[in-house]
C-alpha cells in the first residue's frame, strides 16, 4: 500500500505502481464508444498513462490539457487518460476542452486500478484512482512511474514527457 494524501489528510492505495523495467500489467478499459480497449490495442507505440481521480476536477483537467499538447506532437506514442469517469463524461470534457489528441479510457468494468496499485482504499475518494503517471515503451515494458503523493498536486510533466524520448 502506498500512502498519499488529499488536502493533507492521509489515505492509501491498494498497492504500488508497477516497477520500472517490469512488464506492464495487461489491461482492458472502456473506450468512449463503450468498446473494450486493451494494452495490446496500442502495440508498437509508447504509452503515457495519465491516471487521474476524475476528469471533472481542476488538476485532472489541467493535466489532461497539458498532456494533450504532448500527444498532438507525437505519432510514435499515445497519451491515455485513465479515470473512473463514465466514457460519456470523458467525451464531453474532451469536446468542450478541445483535447482530441489524448485518448480517454474508463476503469468501469475493469480491474485496472487494483492491477496498477492506484485504487484508493480509504477516505473521501475511496474506489477512485490515485493521481499517477506510468510510461510504457513500445515493447510494453514500464520505463517511468510517478505516484503523486498529494492528490491535488500536478505530476512531473517534464519527467514523464522525457521518458517518452
Q: Kindly report, residue by residue over 105-159, the tens digit of the pLDDT.
A: 999 999 999 999 999 999 999 999 999 999 999 999 999 999 999 999 999 999 9
User: For residue 40, how many other CB atoms are within 10 A of its CB?
Assistant: 10
The answer to whether 111 and 86 are in contact (CB under 8 A) is no
pTM: 0.95
Q: Is 11 a catalytic residue?
A: no
Q: Which of 11, 29, 60, 125 is catalytic?
A: 60
Cell 488536502, residue located: 7
CATH 3.30.70.260 is the classification of domain 3-164: no
Cell 486500478, residue located: 113
Model confidence pLDDT, tens digit, residues 47-101: 999 999 999 898 998 899 999 888 888 889 999 999 999 999 999 989 898 888 8
Q: Tell me the DSSP string of 85-124.
A: S-HHHHHHHHHHHT-TTSEEEE-TT--HHHHTT-BB-SST
- Per-residue model confidence (pLDDT) at position 14: 97
- Per-residue model confidence (pLDDT) at position 31: 96
Amino acid at each position: 500500500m502506498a500512502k498519499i494524501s488529499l488536502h493533507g489528510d492521509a489515505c492509501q492505495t491498494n498497492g504500488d505502481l508497477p516497477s520500472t523495467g517490469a512488464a506492464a500489467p495487461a489491461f482492458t478499459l472502456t473506450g468512449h464508444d463503450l468498446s473494450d480497449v486493451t494494452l495490446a490495442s496500442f502495440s508498437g507505440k509508447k504509452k503515457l498513462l495519465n491516471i487521474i481521480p476524475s476528469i471533472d476536477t481542476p488538476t485532472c483537467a489541467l493535466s489532461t490539457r497539458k498532456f494533450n499538447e504532448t500527444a498532438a506532437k507525437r505519432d510514435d506514442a499515445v497519451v491515455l487518460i485513465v479515470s473512473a469517469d463514465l466514457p460519456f463524461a470523458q467525451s464531453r470534457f474532451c469536446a468542450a476542452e478541445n483535447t482530441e489528441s489524448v485518448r480517454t479510457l474508463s476503469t468501469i468494468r475493469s480491474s485496472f486500478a487494483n492491477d496498477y496499485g492506484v485504487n484508493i482504499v480509504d477516505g473521501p475518494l475511496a474506489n477512485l484512482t490515485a493521481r499517477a503517471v506510468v510510461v510504457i515503451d513500445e515493447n510494453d515494458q514500464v520505463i517511468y512511474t510517478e505516484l503523486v503523493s498529494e492528490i491535488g498536486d500536478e505530476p512531473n510533466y517534464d519527467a514523464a514527457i522525457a521518458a517518452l524520448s
